[in-house]
Amino acid sequence: MRSRVIFGIDDICPQKSADAGKDFGGDLQAGILGQLLDLRQDFPRIKVTLFITPNYSYKAQPRYFSTFQKILKKPFGKRFAASIAKKLPDGNFQLGKHPEFCNFLKMQEKKGIFSLELHGFDHFNPWLYYPQEFTELSLEKCNERIEKAVALFRKAGFQKPKVFAPPGWGLSGNLLEALRNNGIPRIAGSVDNSSSVSKDSFSKGSGLQCVSALFPQEANGLLNIPRNWDLRFGKLEKATQILQAGGILGVQAHAAEEGVENAITPENLLNLKNVLASLEKDFGNLRFAHFKEI
Ligand SMILES: [Zn+2]
């Protein structure tokens, strides 16, 4: 079997650079999505899985959330935190409010370069940890959020998602059960940031750590697909080791620099292009896959 490469990008949503100076996909061809489409010039069969937050809400976390974390863990604290969260703006980037964005993605999906998968509902946890939307939520709340997220996907004209990337890498038993309940069979739930790997390496980074860093593996009845190579900091040596071991090269990136460094930028994409070109010299034509095809 030819060496497999998957490329997943978190935080895709309709936010554009005119909104707050950061393009999360809303700039369409003129922004990061255009940069990704341009990768076809060098790698005509490249595939990119876009993990989309269907109701992305940017809510700056008030300072006292972290200052009073201990207090907020108590029931009255949780109610207080929720009342604050309700007052913040919500739903500006809901898919249904951005038909041009949705149509652009659907058109590119038909051409095969993009597949559209799920990255939470709004990426906001009202209780404690801003990006970890599902941390500490009950099964009922997890179910409710996954159902709402899938409904927004369908309303936007997207297919039912088959893969879930957890916002902020926050995973829980309740979330995994909610995904099973809602017929989502795969998670992109582990990121490995080691500088080198072998066939038996476990994932050493955020998300699940009890799973292989190189191979798909079952976790609580779902198939975990590893993410193991960083768009910005990934080196050729590690990519070579992964493919030599027969593993999947799981390129990991984010749409924009919002608390992360591996955003879609020309420099970071150049790192990927250089490494893929070297790998093709050593391993022959790479086989690109979407997460849903693993
Ligand atoms: Zn995210």
| pTM tops 0.85, yes or no | yes
Report if residue 65 sits inside a domain: no
129 pLDDT more than 60: no
> What local confidence, expressed as pLDDT, does residue 124 receive?
85
Report if residue 289 sits inside a domain: yes
How far apart CA 71 and CA 33 sit, in angstroms, is 42
Structure tokens at 142: 């997890």
Report if residue 18 sits inside a domain: yes
Report if residue 280 sits inside a domain: yes
> What local confidence, expressed as pLDDT, does residue 52 receive?
98
- For ligand 1, the distance from its centroid to the CA atom of residue 118, given in whole angstroms, is 10
Q: Summarize pLDDT for 165-179 with one digit per residue, the tens.
A: 999 999 999 999 999
Q: Summarize pLDDT for 268-293 with one digit per residue, the tens.
A: 999 999 999 999 999 999 999 999 99
Share of the chain above pLDDT 90, in %: 79
**Domain containing 115 — which CATH number?**
3.20.20.370
Question: How much is the mean pLDDT over the chain?
Answer: 90
Q: How confident is the model at residue 79 (pLDDT cuts 50, 70, 90)?
A: low
Total domain count, the chain: 1
How far apart CA 133 and CA 121 sit, in angstroms, is 8
Report if residue 246 sits inside a domain: yes
pLDDT top residue among 53 and 1: 53
> What local confidence, expressed as pLDDT, does residue 40 receive?
96
Report if residue 77 sits inside a domain: no
Its domain, for residue 109, covers 4-59+90-293
Report if residue 76 sits inside a domain: no
> What local confidence, expressed as pLDDT, does residue 278 receive?
97
- For ligand 1, the distance from its centroid to the CA atom of residue 119, given in whole angstroms, is 7
- For ligand 1, the distance from its centroid to the CA atom of residue 281, given in whole angstroms, is 33
Report if residue 181 sits inside a domain: yes
- For ligand 1, the distance from its centroid to the CA atom of residue 60, given in whole angstroms, is 14
